[in-house]
Amino acid sequence: MLAKLTSLIALVSLGIAVNATTARAADNTDSTAGKVSITPTAEQISDPEWIQSGRKKFVKACAYCHGQEGDSGKNKAFRERIDWDPNQIHDVIANGRQSGSNVMPAWKDSIDDELIWNMVAYIRSLSGKPR
Amino acid sequence: MSIKQGMTNRVKRCGRTAGVLGAVLMALHGGQVLADSAAPGNWAEYHSDFRGWRFSALEQINKTNVKKLKVAWMHQSGDIRHGLHATPLAIDGVLYYSGSSNRVFALDAATGVEIWHYYAELDPIHEKSIFSFYNRGVTVGRGKVFIGTSDGHMIALDQKTGKELWKTQLIIPKNCHGCNFTSPPQLAGDMLIGGHTGGDHAQRGKIFAVKVDTGEKAWVFDTIKDDPASWPGDTGKTGGGGAWLPGQYDAKNNLFFIGTSNAAPDFDNSSRPGDNLYTASILALRPSNGELVWFHQEVPNDSWDFDSPYEFLLIEKDGESLMVHLNKGGHVTVLNRKTGKVVKVWPMAENINWVTGVDAKTGALQGRVDPVAGKSLTFCPSVLGARSWNAGAYSPNRGLWYTNAIEACNRVTMDSQVIKDLAFSQPYFGVSDFEVTNLPSGKATSRLAAYDPLTGKLAWKVEYDLPGLGGVLATAGSLVFNGDSRGWVHAYDDKNGKELWNFNTGSGIRGGIISYSAGGKQYILVPSGFGSLVPGFSSILWPEFKNVRGGSTLIAFTVE
């Protein structure tokens, strides 16, 4: 995991632009915290180590509402999602979401951005795989 | 015409009985609030009165005319986040309630017209708590309306104007993983007493008392006992506890009863060897100084999230002052409430596998099966509990206790949890796998059921497709009202469970239904508004939960 993150930082420092779905980089500026979140590559999003790391955190932090594989919650099961934009997933985890009576808190101030991306990788790994 | 003058003769008959009781209660309590609560047309406390009955002595609405119930008025709180959890209060023709974001309202009980409102100014940090926006209502007494807030304050408002009188910060959410007050603190003589959330978090839960008239902090009871035998090393500092539902004040015995939350981490009890007092316990406290008069720990060294915060049903039987209490784990304990001595234990849940039984004379757990690190085990009931937190109702006329119930399980693989890795307000569960599941024998079920609370004998039950998550009402009109998760409110014959009336409120019920009298009429008041984490978590079992709309509406019904 640490090695992967080091690679990611190196990529950023070199100005290499990649995107998870188009192999082009993108910077998401977090206006609240002033931090910059770097969208990983598609390869990183599908990296088994990232997925496993993300699963571990997801089960401990998110299963209480979403179930450990995203079948619960108030919205469509994760497995029934297709073409789910990783940036959208990241945004919801980082900034939270309020819709009607449903409330999800923002986690960006207490979960490292890299780990949020690992969680995105786990969630993304479930999508498009209905039971 | 006064409210009492406007009562029907049938109500007056009830009123005489209640009036005598009221005089006794007023003498015992020496406070205005219980003089109010004794009036049959009022619903002056969270559970209608200190006994936890949720029973209305009114009978203008009864089995013969319940089909004529019509909507009289509605009131919207305007903030539907996590729905409407409150049990409103009705005192002398005025309703008091609060909704999400600690919005407090006083309404004309006959018309729903707003008299005043108060919107608490909350520290934005409260929105980072997983239990933010939860709010179960207000307490009224001594000319004040009291609330506990999502950001850790107790606040007193002027009962007539809604003007803030005092505000006391008791907990700092940023220091306790977002712990907060989700229930109204309760009056006990000159004290206002309440606890906070936190059984699922790495924090140390407490119960606070403040002076009613000034808000000055009077005492603090630490639900984590300062004893290395209970909490080795530093385990108590993150041992959970707290008390997230309202307590009840038994003035005759001068005892304040309150149930505590579970120990944390919820499922990893190997990390905190010991009995973990005073988590998952019933406490009898002396209101004046917080002295622990007696306690009964229902689940020592809990490893299933089976805390003890639910209501206390207080009943006199053969000269003995009893308490009936449901634990989330599915057993009902009957105790002598003066001493805490266990009288009987009976299983309400039909599927219990975390113990083989509970000693009926002592309450000791028998044959417990704890989670094991790295091993997937299924426990019944689940963390949802044998019932959610919403209280049942008791009819003294029938001698029956009416309560919702859930039969479901969860699959758990226990795992250690490094505290420093916890995000803010992240549950401190101690799991590597965790999912609510169906029963080993088949699909998860739910019901509204009527029991003899002292023996557990089942009188009748009505099966529900979705678990009922609202508070039940029983009335002297021989009726039981219960709201379901689709939003239908049902009236049943209290003798046999036959459905006599229903109405679709449009959003699921999570609050407590009450009855009161205003302008000579009896009303049934239904808080409608789905929300909270439970429906989402359990939607894997009941997918329809995904589609239940949120809301936050009080709906008053009456007959013409």
What averages of pLDDT result for each successive group of 10 residues across chain B (560 residues)? 33 37 39 53 97 98 98 98 98 98 98 98 96 97 98 98 98 96 98 97 98 98 98 98 98 98 98 98 98 98 98 97 98 98 98 98 98 98 97 98 98 96 96 96 98 98 98 98 98 98 98 98 98 92 94 97
The residues with which B321 forms a beta bridge, in sequence order, are: B316
Question: What integer is the mean pLDDT of A92-100?
Answer: 96
Instruction: Report the side by side order of strands in the sheet with B153-158.
Output: B139-141, B144-148, B153-158, B164-169
Q: Give the pLDDT score at B3.
A: 32
Which residues from chain B sit within 8 angstroms of residue A96, using beta carbons? 127
Please give the Cα distance from A50 to B560 (Å, whole number). Answer: 65
Please give the Cα distance from B380 to B384 (Å, whole number). Answer: 10
**Which amino acid appears at position B504 of this protein?**
N
**Which amino acid appears at position B293 of this protein?**
V
Give the count of alpha carbons within 13 A of B20, CB side only.
4
Verify whether the Cβ–Cβ distance A64 to B531 is below 8 Å: no
pLDDT at A5 over 70: no
Please give the Cα distance from B388 to B386 (Å, whole number). Answer: 7
- Pair B154, B168: CB distance under 8 Å: yes
| Torsion angles phi and psi, residue B433, rounded to 5 | -145, 140
Q: Which domain holds residue B218?
A: 3-558
Longest CA–CA separation in chain A, Å:
44
Verify whether the Cβ–Cβ distance A105 to B130 is below 8 Å: yes
Q: Which pair of structure tokens corresponds to residue B28?
A: 């015992």
pTM: 0.91
Q: B54 by DSSP, 3-state: which?
A: coil
Verify whether the Cβ–Cβ distance A64 to B537 is below 8 Å: yes
Q: What's chain A's average pLDDT? A: 80
Nearest to B407 by CA among B369, B443, B445, B353: B445
Q: Best residue in B123, B130, B413 to probe A by mutation, most A CBs within 10 Å? A: B130
- Pair B482, B448: CB distance under 8 Å: yes
| Distance from the A70 Cα atom to the nearest Cα atom in chain B, whole angstroms | 9
Please give the Cα distance from B60 to B558 (Å, whole number). Answer: 9
- Identity of the residue in B432, B536, B550 whose CB atom sits nearest the CB atom of A100: B550
Q: How many CB pairs under 8 A join A and B?
A: 99
Q: Best residue in A103, A108, A119 to probe B by mutation, most B CBs within 10 Å? A: A103
Question: What is the ipTM, given to two decimal places?
Answer: 0.87
Question: Residue B172 sits in a domain of what CATH number?
Answer: 2.140.10.10
Overall residue count recorded for chain B in this entry: 560
Please give the Cα distance from A23 to A43 (Å, whole number). Answer: 9
Q: Within an 8 Å CB–CB cutoff, is residue A52 touching chain B?
A: no
- Identity of the residue in A59, A61, A105 whose CB atom sits nearest the CB atom of B433: A59
| Distance from the B304 Cα atom to the nearest Cα atom in chain A, whole angstroms | 14
Which residues from chain B sit within 8 angstroms of residue A74, using beta carbons? 535-536, 539, 545-546
Please give the Cα distance from B423 to B175 (Å, whole number). Answer: 12
Instruction: Report the side by side order of strands in the sheet with B89-91.
Output: B89-91, B94-99, B103-108, B114-119
Verify whether the Cβ–Cβ distance A101 to B81 is below 8 Å: yes
Q: Which pair of structure tokens corresponds to residue B140?
A: 């009224």
Q: Give the pLDDT score at B1.
A: 30
Q: Within an 8 Å CB–CB cutoff, is residue A64 touching chain B?
A: yes
Nearest to B240 by CA among B205, B268, B206: B205
CA distances (Å), origin B117, targets B113, B167, B514: 11, 17, 21
Q: Give the pLDDT score at A38.
A: 85
| Residue of A4 and B555 predicted with greater confidence | B555
Verify whether the Cβ–Cβ distance B128 to A105 is below 8 Å: yes
Which residues from chain A sit within 8 angstroms of residue B128, using beta carbons? 105-106, 109-110
- Pair B193, B208: CB distance under 8 Å: yes
Quote the number of domains for chain B.
1
Q: Give the pLDDT score at B209.
A: 98
